[in-house]
Amino acid sequence: MPLTAYLIVSAVIFTIGVIGVLIRRNPLIIFMSIELMLNAVNLSFVALSHFLDSVDGQMFVFLVLTVAAAEVVVGLALIVSIFRTRHNIDVDEMNVLRG
Amino acid sequence: MTFEIVSFVVLAVATVATAIGVIAFKNAIHSALSLILTLLFLALFYLQLQAMFIAVVQILIYAGAIMVLFLFVVTMLASDQDELALRNQIPWQRMVGGLLGLILVAALSYLLFTGAQVTGTTASHAESLKQAITTYQGDTQAFGMALFHGFLFPFEVTSLLIVVAILGALVFGRRTN
Amino acid sequence: MFQLSDLYLLAPEISLVLLALVVMVIDLFTKRRIVIATVSLVGLIVPVGFVIAQAVTYTGPRTALFRMLVVDQYSLFFRVIFLIIAAFMVLASYNYLGKYIKAEGEFYVLMLFSVVGMMLMASTGELISIYIALELTSFPLYAMAGLLRSSTKSSEAALKYVLLGAMSSAILLYGFALLYGLTGTTDLQGIAQSFKSFGNGNLMVIVADVLIIAGFGFKISAVPFHMWAPDIYEGAPTPATAFFSVGSKAAGFAALIRILVYGGLWQADLTPLIVVLGVVAVLTLILGNFAAAVQTNIKRMMAYSSIAQAGYILVGVVATLTMSQKNHTAASSGIAAVLFFILVYVVTNLGAFSGIIALSNLTGGEKIEDFRGLWHRSPLLTVCTSLCLLSLAGIPPVAGFFSKVFIFTAAWQLGQPWLVIIALLCSIVSIVYYGRIIKVMFFDAPRKEERLVAPISLSTTITLATAALLVLTVIVTVVLDAANPAALSLFASLLGK
């Protein structure tokens, strides 16, 4: 298959990710859309690395993977913490009402 | 050759379909499952492109670790999805988003059909990848050589990144008194 | 080749990482803020020493680790800027941390790690390293935005920052992928070499550049990508806001200019790109200045003001790109003006922010009207803050005036008169809103009469910032003497061969 074919698949997935970021409101799904974008870029890199006959592109993919994992850790920790503070507030209010 | 084309087309359609699923499903759990499928299909793409190591890592880290974390959080917060919704949404944002997306797809595919060209020859750091794959029966050795030799610097900086990520998770995860 | 002596080039960063780790460990054993802050501040002497030693001994660019690490005058200039930011941040945040945030140690550690990332962003010459350094800069910022645990606004700001940052780096990566596809290498010097043959406009080059600029556009909050910047700035703890407004912006520009100029992208025909970038600069200027003029919350006003300042810097960048192909020396004067502008902006904005932190800490409000009549209640703080605001507005006697003059003359000479005229008109608007705060502080009747006594660390910070500003005003030529070779050093590797 020619390089262009892979690049177009990658462009389509990237675009789907961008649309997801723009139209979805749930931060978790926005996060998943961003993962789609990153993976589209990774596909480009692997395809380019194959056709350029160089390992540099794969290096990019590997490190992007690592960064993405770290990003998910920070982002999800934040989402959980937001959820927990809001939840806690609710619980406190209930206590006030009962007391 | 025909097998290659058929497998590519099937994979491409499957990947795009599951990717659309990620952003189209109402339920975040379905989105996450769809994303896992997308990632697996991408790993198959990598295999087709002879990037064994990346394909394995993709399944292990992405589909295995990252998505498990996602699913964990999604199921944990399943009942409170609406509370988390961000504010400041403009009503026509959906339409504009879709339109922009279409334009972007058109523009990008036009460009890729007309303008894509590869001018570089080989990497600055490693020997020819194809040669390495035939010599070592896989790209893992070439990959390792490049990672711990030419790309040592970014690799080492990644370790700092992970320390910071742990610290960030710790800051957010700690209970407030 | 890797030699142990190469590590000396990295010494400032390595010592800063060690300092961050030491602070982290100390934080485990003692929760006394004074100890942590003192260690951070004193520890900064080591990287500062290394940078000074390198600046004195190195006359030409040095590269190490397969050209991934580039220590030239340009990166040294930015290392100095980032270390200044770190020192100011330790001082300026000291009181705020004690009052609002219970995680002092973490704040300092995150801040130091972020500064390491910024320094690396300015001194790497390779795309993967730039990406990793960028993420190392951003991660701590996300965490810092959400440090006010009890405030939902702060958490929401952090969430927006994470999503926006992740998306922008994905866009940036796509640009990098195209660049890699075009040239077959991730090494900026290699890219510069292969761009020698890209004479007539290849559309892919423009697309790659646009994606890269869009990716950095989020970091420097240029206009179509500024959407959430005011929300993030308002919700985050004020010292963190000060840090975002100077650090992430300076680092973004450092890496962007490094890629565009050192990466030799200017060798291709960039006319469409220059038009796009010019439009972005104009929009940034107009929106930043006019939106700042109507704000009532001072943090939001400063957010828009920092968007506007990014517009002035973009004018310089555009001017440089216009001229690079024809005349390197002339084009480098544009970069020199940009470097000088960034340095002055960093000092002034930190000063203005520490003034705002102090005053809003004392008055307990963040609205502009809360600042009424502060001249009668705290003269020193008011005078210093006003000087910084005057410099931001570009009023003649202060350094901000010179930085604007340099950028405008450079842009005019490099053939962008229209941009200069628009920028001039916008800076007249900026006088209105900076002047309004000064008027409120000096001439309006105070709400209460009693004197405000600022905590010692904050009054030191703002006095230091104002002093630094005045010193900068006096030694303009000295700084320019440092900025010019820094700007030229970006072209050096290409012209040397």
Instruction: Give the nearest chain B residue to A90 (CA atoms).
Output: B83
Determine whether the interchain pair A60/C174 forms a contact, defined as Cβ–Cβ distance below 8 Å: no
**Cα pseudo-dihedral C393, C399, C405, C408, rounded to 10:** -70
CATH code (residue A20): 1.10.287.3510
For B172, which of A32, A43, A78 is closest by C-beta distance?
A: A78
* 3-class DSSP state of C482: helix
Report the C-alpha gap between C273 and C219 in whole angstroms.
19
- For residue C142 the two structure tokens come to 């996300």
pLDDT value for C296? 87
Determine whether the interchain pair C177/A78 forms a contact, defined as Cβ–Cβ distance below 8 Å: no
pLDDT-derived band at C199 (thresholds 50, 70, 90) equals low
Query: Is the CB of residue C388 less than 8 Å from the CB of residue C355?
Result: yes
One-letter identity of residue B165? A
* Residue in C139, C141, C149, C155 to test binding to A, most A beta-carbons within 10 Å: C155
Neighbours of C370 (CB within 10 A): 17
Residues 6+ apart with CB under 8 A from C125: C63, C67, C68, C69, C70, C187, C188, C189, C258, C262
Tell me how far CA of residue C318 lies from CA of A17, C15, C327, C341, in angstroms. Answer: 30, 36, 14, 15
Distance (Å) from the alpha carbon of C372 to chain B's nearest alpha carbon:
32
Does pLDDT of A98 surpass 50?
Answer: no
Does pLDDT of C180 surpass 60?
Answer: yes
Whether chain C has a CB inside 8 Å of the CB on A16: the answer is no
Instruction: Among C210-214, C387-391, C458-462, name the one with the lowest average pLDDT.
Output: C458-462
pLDDT value for C356? 83
Determine whether the interchain pair A41/C127 forms a contact, defined as Cβ–Cβ distance below 8 Å: no
Report the C-alpha gap between C206 and C188 in whole angstroms.
17
Report the C-alpha gap between C220 and C252 in whole angstroms.
6
Instruction: Give the nearest chain A residue to B150 (CA atoms).
Output: A56
pLDDT-derived band at C308 (thresholds 50, 70, 90) equals very high
Does pLDDT of A99 surpass 50?
Answer: no
Report the C-alpha gap between B48 and B57 in whole angstroms.
15
- For residue B92 the two structure tokens come to 């026509």
What integer is the mean pLDDT of C233-246? Answer: 90
Whether chain B has a CB inside 8 Å of the CB on C129: the answer is yes
Cα end-to-end span (Å), chain B: 65
Instruction: Among B31-35, C113-117, C315-319, C446-450, name the one with the lowest average pLDDT.
Output: C446-450
Tell me how far CA of residue B19 lies from CA of A42, A88, B30, C11, C319, in angstroms. Answer: 15, 35, 12, 45, 41
For B124, which of C69, C156, C185 is closest by C-beta distance?
A: C185
What integer is the mean pLDDT of C10-17? Answer: 94
Determine whether the interchain pair A66/B161 forms a contact, defined as Cβ–Cβ distance below 8 Å: yes
Would you call B78 exposed, middle or buried from its count of C-beta atoms within 10 A (0-12, 13-18, 19+)?
exposed
pLDDT value for C200? 61
* 3-class DSSP state of C126: strand
Which positions in chain A touch B16 (Cβ < 8 Å)?
9, 12-13, 16
Q: What's the whole-number average pLDDT of chain C?
A: 88
Beta-ladder partners of C62? C71
Report the C-alpha gap between B130 and B139 in whole angstroms.
8
Of C93 and B12, more confident: B12
Tell me how far CA of residue A7 lies from CA of A40, A49, B6, B22, in angstroms. Answer: 9, 12, 17, 20
Alpha helices in chain B (DSSP H): 2-24, 28-48, 52-57, 67-76, 81-84, 93-115, 129-136, 140-148, 152-173
- For residue C210 the two structure tokens come to 């646009």
pLDDT value for C95? 80
Print the domain residue range for A79: 3-98
Does pLDDT of C132 surpass 90?
Answer: yes
Query: Is the CB of residue C343 less than 8 Å from the CB of residue C85?
Result: no
Does pLDDT of B125 surpass 60?
Answer: no
* 3-class DSSP state of C71: strand
pLDDT-derived band at C151 (thresholds 50, 70, 90) equals confident
For C380-405, write each residue's pLDDT tens digit. Answer: 888 888 999 999 998 887 888 999 99
Q: Which is it for strands C62-64 and C69-71: parallel, antiparallel or unpaired?
A: antiparallel
Alpha helices in C101-151 (DSSP H): 104-122, 127-145
Tokens 């040397």 identify what position?
Answer: C496
Instruction: Among A70-84, B32-46, B102-116, C297-311, name the one with the lowest average pLDDT.
Output: B102-116
Beta-ladder partners of C126? C187
CA C315, C321, C326 angle in degrees (round to 5)?
135
- For residue C165 the two structure tokens come to 């940052």
**Cα pseudo-dihedral B79, B81, B82, B83, rounded to 10:** 90
Which positions in chain C touch A30 (Cβ < 8 Å)?
163
pLDDT-derived band at A97 (thresholds 50, 70, 90) equals very low
Q: If we measure between CA atoms, which residue out of B17, B1, B51, B134 comes closest to residue A1? A: B1
Does pLDDT of A96 surpass 70?
Answer: no
For B64-103, write each residue's pLDDT tens digit. Answer: 889 999 988 888 876 655 555 555 555 677 788 788 888 8
pLDDT value for C322? 85
Our count of domains for chain A comes to 1
Query: Is the CB of residue A28 less than 8 Å from the CB of residue B73?
Result: yes
- For residue C424 the two structure tokens come to 């001039």
Which positions in chain C touch B122 (Cβ < 8 Å)?
184
pLDDT value for B123? 40
User: Which chains are within 8 Å of B by 3+ CB pairs?
Assistant: A, C
Report the C-alpha gap between C358 and C149 in whole angstroms.
21
Q: Where are the domains of chain C?
A: 4-496
Beta-ladder partners of B97? none
- For residue C80 the two structure tokens come to 């100095």
The string of DSSP letters for B82-111 reads HHH--S---TTHHHHHHHHHHHHHHHHHHH
